[in-house]
Amino acid sequence: PLTAHINCRIVGTNYRVLKTLCDAIGATMADGSDVPFTGLPTDEIRAIFKRQLDSDSKIMVVVLDEVDSLVKRDINQGNDILYGLTRMNSELSQSRISIIGISNDLTFKDMLDPRVLSTLGEEEVIFAPYNAVELKGILQQRVEIAFNPGVIGDEGVINLVGALAAQEHGDARRALDLLRTAGELAERRGDERVIQDHVREAQKVIERDAITDTVKTLPMQSKAVLFAVYVLADKGQNDIFTGECFNVYSEIAKSLSLDTLTQRRVSDLISELDMMGLINTTVISKGRYGRTKKIKLAVSKKQIGAILDDDTRLSQAARDIIG
């Protein structure tokens, strides 16, 4: 069969999806020229693709990788392209098209239009995370390609990487990233072999980098809430409650010229930061006075402070409040 693999995070519009499909089967304009990157009505480029596909008897398998990106980017456009592709078999006389959608979002189908779901006729296949034995097999395969013979100190290195990755996420890419980082640490130190100590240190490096990236990409309102917790912790306050956090957040929001959210919405953002692992919260009952959250930073103050220094606006606001 004909095949086309489309990464929907990169190819994210109806037109570009159809253009990619046209290229995959060699569909051209009436004059024989390539289908242009822009400029045609979507209906026209769809007709070009359909005409070429149905020119003789064939089967085409289309893999839409990260298919949820289509709908998350533009829910109407995303549903339109999926509806058009799933309905296409009823418009073809000689050929057939089959769609495989790949997504890490288990709730993705909740965003789909009922018409898309009814024509999809889907069979859902859930792939479990890799276990330690499977990860070990993948890692051994890559070690033979990426490392010189004898560089991996002993089999325990691969076993440790596989075990750590399986316990945390079961993600092969992140397991490979851990092994790569361990190798880079050994190389920078001039060590001839990668040992288990390098793996454990690499895990700490990756965790630090992940936290930094997470904080830097937070929306500004979430950053303001996180740094309100940081300010209170920096002042030596061990037990931080929602009300106190909201008061400091209000000062930071005002300093940053942000709209001040309600205390209820700030409480929601606190819960989101807790889910990300940036803070820890415990719900405390105060009897007839209701409930509140006790908050603690889940990452070091030093690391948050370093990130703060990189953000001029937040750094200035925090200095004004901390004094």
Per-residue pLDDT, 322: 63
Give the residue with greater pLDDT, 71 vs 311: 71
Q: Are residues 291 and 317 in the same domain?
A: yes
Q: What local confidence, expressed as pLDDT, does residue 315 receive?
A: 73
Of 187, 214, 241, which residue sits at a domain end? 214
In a domain, 236, yes or no: yes
* Residue 190 within any structural domain of the chain: yes
Closest Cα to residue 282, out of 274, 271, 294, 297?
294
* pLDDT value for 72: 83
**123: Cβ contacts below 8 Å, ≥ 6 apart:** none
Q: Are residues 168 and 199 in the same domain?
A: yes
Reported as a pLDDT band with limits 50, 70 and 90, residue 97 is: very high
Distance CA 102, CA 99 (A): 10
- The answer to whether residues 176 and 277 belong to one domain is no
Cα gap 118→121, rounded to integer Å: 6
For the ranges 28-37, 119-128, 229-238, 246-255, the lowest mean pLDDT is seen at 119-128
**pLDDT at position 323, please?**
59
Q: Which of 175, 197, 214 is the last residue of a domain?
A: 214
Dihedral sign, Cα of residue 135, residue 137, residue 141, residue 146: positive
For residue 126, tell me if it sits in a domain.
Answer: no
Lowest mean pLDDT among 49-53, 93-97, 192-196, 318-322: 318-322
Residue 228 and residue 187 in one domain? no
pLDDT value at residue 17:
93
Instruction: Give the span between the Cα atoms of 232 and 240, in whole angstroms.
Output: 7
Q: Do residues 106 and 170 both lie within one domain?
A: no
Indicate if the pLDDT at residue 263 is higher than 70.
Answer: yes
Average pLDDT value for residue range 285-312: 78
How many domains are contained in the chain? 3
What strands, in cross-sheet order, belong to the sheet with 59-65? 2-7, 59-65, 96-102
**Last residue of a domain, which of 89, 120, 151?**
120
pLDDT classification of 26: cutoffs 50, 70, 90: very high
Q: Compute the distance between CA of residue 65 and CA of residue 101 in angstroms, rounded to an integer.
A: 6
For residues 171 and 226, state if they share a domain: no
Average pLDDT, the chain: 87
d(CA 198, CA 205): 10
pTM of the predicted model as reported, rounded to 2 decimal places = 0.56
User: Which two tokens mark 74?
Assistant: 């533009």
Q: Which domain holds residue 71?
A: 2-120
Name the one residue in this structure whose structure tokens are 């807790």: 274
Q: Is the pLDDT of residue 318 over 70?
A: no
Asked if 15 and 111 sit in the same domain, the reply is: yes
The letter for the amino acid at 166 is: A
Q: DSSP letters of 69-119?
A: HHHHH-HHHHHHHHHHHHHGGGG-SS-EEEEEEE-S-TTGGGGS-HHHHHH
- Annotate 11-38 with b (16+ C-beta within 10 A) or e (fewer): bbbbbbbbbbbbebbebeeeeeeebeee
User: Does residue 268 sit in the same domain as residue 318?
Assistant: yes
Q: Could you give the CA distance from residue 212 to residue 203 in angstroms, rounded to a whole number?
A: 14
